[in-house]
Each structure stands twice: as structure tokens, then as C-alpha cells.
Amino acid sequence: MTVMSNEEFAKRMMLLAKPASEFKPTAYYDSDGDCIEFLAKPDPFYEERIDDLVTVYYSQKTGEVIGSLIKGVSKLAKRLAERLPGFMITIEDRRIRLEHLFLAGMWLQTSEPQAIHVLAYKKLAEIAERTSVEVSAELCGAA
């Protein structure tokens, strides 16, 4: 482990940084948080928690939905295997298309979701489909 001063850390981040013009939509599984973070644009964003599963990211510039955080992914994978076993057929080459996870998240709701939250889920699924973002099923425990 490397112990860094604030100055060293800031300098390291600037050396690693890429310009926003090179941004590509991505989703990645973070084992430290057991979460999948999805970002479709390089804009700075703010969060809004919509339920226990998803936190939506809104652009600070435009207010549009540009990403999300899916939380408790290991537990979600277990619930999907138990309650929606057919979901596993959506896994191809050990990859899950992110829009399928958003749809599954809606199907797993135990109470009637608020209309505004349904809109956010639909928007996220639409953006994920448009950007063809996938995550490793193996990494997040779904394969």
C-alpha cells in the first residue's frame, strides 16, 4: 500500500486524467462497494436515491439522467437467481447488458413504485441500451 500526501494524490489523479472528449459510456462493478456504477456522459453529476437498489445520477449542467449506482449487487444476483431464474438466459459470454439489470430491478419491486421512479428506471434502461453498456456477470456474482 502507498501512503500519499494530498498533493501527491492530486498530482497522481491529474496524471491519470483524460479529457472529457475521450469519454466513453461505461459500467463497472466495484467489489469494495458491491455496486455497479454506470455513467453515460462525462458531466459532473448529483445523486438522487430512488429506492434500495438504485441511485440515479443527474447532470449538474442539464438535469438529465446520465447514470446510476446499483447497490447490493451480490444480493441482487441471488434474488434474481431465486425469483427470476429466467434472467440467467440474458447472460451472454459471461456479460450482462445493463438495461436487463434495470428491468429486473423493476420486476423485483415488492411495492408499487412511484411513477417518477418508474420513469427514472425506464430512462436508465433506455440509455444503457443506446450505449450498449455491459458488465461482467462473473465479477458481480451472477454467473
Residues lying near other proteins in the complex (CB under 8 A) are found at: 1-4, 6, 9-20, 22-23, 26, 28, 30, 32-35, 37, 39, 42-49, 52-53, 57, 60-61, 69, 71-72, 74-76
Nearest distance in Å: CB 86, other proteins? 21
Query: Which residue lies nearer to other proteins by CB, 17 or 115?
Result: 17
Please report which residue ranges of 21-133 form alpha helices under DSSP H: 73-83, 98-107, 115-131
Q: Is 60 helix (H, G, I), strand (E, B) or coil?
A: coil
Reference 56, options 77, 70, 42, 44; nearest CA is 70
Nearest distance in Å: CB 79, other proteins? 9
Nearest distance in Å: CB 100, other proteins? 18
Query: Which residue lies nearer to other proteins by CB, 75 or 92?
Result: 75
Neighbours of 12 (CB within 10 A): 12
Query: Which residue lies nearer to other proteins by CB, 48 or 129?
Result: 48
Nearest distance in Å: CB 44, other proteins? 5
Q: Which residues pair with 28 in a beta bridge?
A: 37
Reference 80, options 92, 91, 69; nearest CA is 91
Query: Which residue lies nearer to other proteins by CB, 28 or 91?
Result: 28
Q: Biggest alpha carbon distance in the chain?
A: 50
